[in-house]
Amino acid sequence: MSAKSQIKKVVLAYSGGLDTSIILKWLQTEYGAEVVTFTADLGQGEEIEPARAKALAAGVKPENIFIEDVREEFVRDFVFPMFRANALYEGEYLLGTSIARPLIAKRLVEIARATGCDAISHGATGKGNDQVRFELGAYALWPEVKVIAPWREWDLNSRESLLAYAAKHEIPIAKKPGGGSPYSMDANALHISYEGGGLEDPWWSPDDSIWRWTKNPEDAPNEAEEITIEFERGDAVAINGDRGTPFQILDRLNALGGRHGIGRLDLVENRYVGIKSRGCYETPGGSILLKAHRAIESLCLDREQAHLKDELMPKYASLIYNGYWWSPERRMLQALIDDSQTRVNGEVRLKLYKGAVYNLGRRSKDSLFDATLSTFEDDRGAYNQKDAEGFIRLNGLRLRTGAKRDAR
């Protein structure tokens, strides 16, 4: 019995877009499998109910169509924990695509088990990171899971061949005006990304029409806007005194950042599979949140806590980028990071202006900032400046010893 014939039912991460619409048909024809579809509202800002009609039209049974609003779970359990770490991949990327994959993998496994599926399937290509993220997550949660990765099996090796397949099987697909394949895009409550097309030339600069969430900074308002963000245990809980759920907070920050042209990034990055890729990203709310979180931490964290977090952050970010959210080492780092946030409480005041975020002030009842120690005025004996001499001489001892040796 062939491996394909052993798979009778499969759950597919399904958006209703080009790739997954074709994969749905391909699973039905190549595997003869009953398909279950899972479509998630991650806060991408687009209506997802049309995916139901598309799945029904493709022959999926109504009871096999799962369309879920996971916006709050996504921001609360994935985005906010990551931002407690101030995670940046390769110094710039706020990991908007990467952080969504663990949740999708989790729900694919849960739905597969609940509906009696033999396998899960996804639309990630054999060249990208997402195949790794989906599958590492699935294996961590269900060691015996079978995975169907069509891009590693079929011969539809270009966007144009996918469009030809769609036309042959009468699968409706939206195209860019003037024809051609659309950008490869990914969106959720944290970001939107663009790859493919002209972006495959690292020297080519896209025109402003590519950006969907953010104004061109040059066209952003000429008047700066000041906002206040309140934090509790390292998470943003209110903007300008107005409390909200995690998704509501991020959604409002996205609107603020987008209006002021904040959060654009054009990056050539190193994929886990060994390929360099170029993408454009919009992360308006996340860019504001990162700046604000570091500001409140600057008041509330002990120096060595803060420095240790900064040293561990690149490792934490690479774990998420490479698909190891469900790994024991990421959980271990998360426990350390979360413990550091217990006293990260207070408010940060920011100015938003033409693509930039400026810190204006921060305050906290848990602040470690002591004005009597740091003042340049009379501190009335709070700090004996003579104590610094012994501290410097002790720390300079090895430097003096080395210099004497080198002078010999």
CATH of the domain at 138: 3.40.50.620
Lowest mean pLDDT among 41-55, 213-227, 320-334: 41-55
Residue 382 lies in a domain: no
**Is the torsion defined by CA of 299, 304, 310, 315 positive or negative?**
negative
CATH of the domain at 205: 3.90.1260.10
Identify the active-site residue in 101, 107, 252, 264. Answer: 101
Q: In the chain, what percentage of residues exceed pLDDT 70? A: 96
Predicted confidence (pLDDT) at residue 305 exceeds the cutoff of 50: yes
DSSP for 78-91? IIHHHHHTT--BTT
Predicted confidence (pLDDT) at residue 243 exceeds the cutoff of 90: yes
Predicted confidence (pLDDT) at residue 175 exceeds the cutoff of 60: no
Convert the pLDDT of each residue in 9-36 to its tens digit.
999 999 988 889 999 999 999 999 999 9
Q: Is 19 a catalytic residue?
A: yes
Lowest mean pLDDT among 162-176, 185-199, 212-226, 385-399: 162-176
CA distance 100 to 105: 9
Q: 40 and 129: one domain? A: yes
| Average pLDDT over every residue of 48-52 | 90
Predicted confidence (pLDDT) at residue 187 exceeds the cutoff of 50: yes
Lowest mean pLDDT among 160-164, 231-235, 348-352, 363-367: 160-164
Predicted confidence (pLDDT) at residue 383 exceeds the cutoff of 50: yes
Residue 227 is predicted with a pLDDT of 98
Residue 162 is predicted with a pLDDT of 86
Q: 149 and 298: one domain? A: no
Q: 172 and 262: one domain? A: no
Predicted confidence (pLDDT) at residue 3 exceeds the cutoff of 90: no
Q: 191 and 177: one domain? A: no
More confident residue, 375 or 314: 314
Q: Are strands 235-239 and 242-243 parallel, antiparallel or unpaired?
A: antiparallel
Q: Is 101 a catalytic residue?
A: yes
Q: Which domain holds residue 24?
A: 9-184
List Cα–Cα distances, 277 to 85, 164, 267, 287, 325, in angstroms.
25, 25, 8, 22, 22
Q: Who contacts 246 (Cβ-Cβ below 8 Å, separation ≥6)?
A: 72, 75, 76, 79, 80, 235, 236
Residue 400 lies in a domain: no
What is the 8-class DSSP label of residue 208? G
Give bridge partners of residue 89 from the DSSP assignment: 93
Identify the active-site residue in 130, 186, 235, 251. Answer: 130
122 — phi, psi (to 5°)? Answer: -145, 170
Q: 72 and 134: one domain? A: yes
Other C-beta atoms closer than 10 Å to the C-beta of 316 total 25
Predicted confidence (pLDDT) at residue 178 exceeds the cutoff of 70: no
Predicted confidence (pLDDT) at residue 176 exceeds the cutoff of 90: no
Other C-beta atoms closer than 10 Å to the C-beta of 363 total 13
Identify the active-site residue in 21, 98, 121, 184. Answer: 184
Residue 181 is predicted with a pLDDT of 39
Question: Does residue 99 contact residue 42 with C-beta atoms inside 8 Å?
Answer: no
Residue 217 lies in a domain: yes
Amino acid (one-letter) located at 148: I
Identify the active-site residue in 15, 19, 277, 362. Answer: 19
| Average pLDDT over every residue of 345-372 | 97
CA distance 148 to 150: 6
Residue 185 is predicted with a pLDDT of 86
Convert the pLDDT of each residue in 126-160 to its tens digit.
999 999 999 999 999 999 999 999 999 999 987 78
Average pLDDT for the chain? 94
Q: 72 and 204: one domain? A: no
Q: How many domains does the chain have?
A: 2
Tokens of 404: 């004497």
Q: 138 and 253: one domain? A: no
Amino acid (one-letter) located at 74: F
Q: 173 and 32: one domain? A: yes
Q: How many CA atoms lie within 13 A of 124 on its CB side?
A: 22
- Can you give the pTM of this predicted structure? 0.94
Residue 393 lies in a domain: no
Predicted confidence (pLDDT) at residue 216 exceeds the cutoff of 90: yes
Question: Does residue 322 contact residue 129 with C-beta atoms inside 8 Å?
Answer: yes
Residue 18 is predicted with a pLDDT of 82
Q: 203 and 64: one domain? A: no
Q: 121 and 25: one domain? A: yes
Q: 95 and 177: one domain? A: yes
**pLDDT band, residue 180 (cuts 50/70/90):** very low
| Average pLDDT over every residue of 222-248 | 98
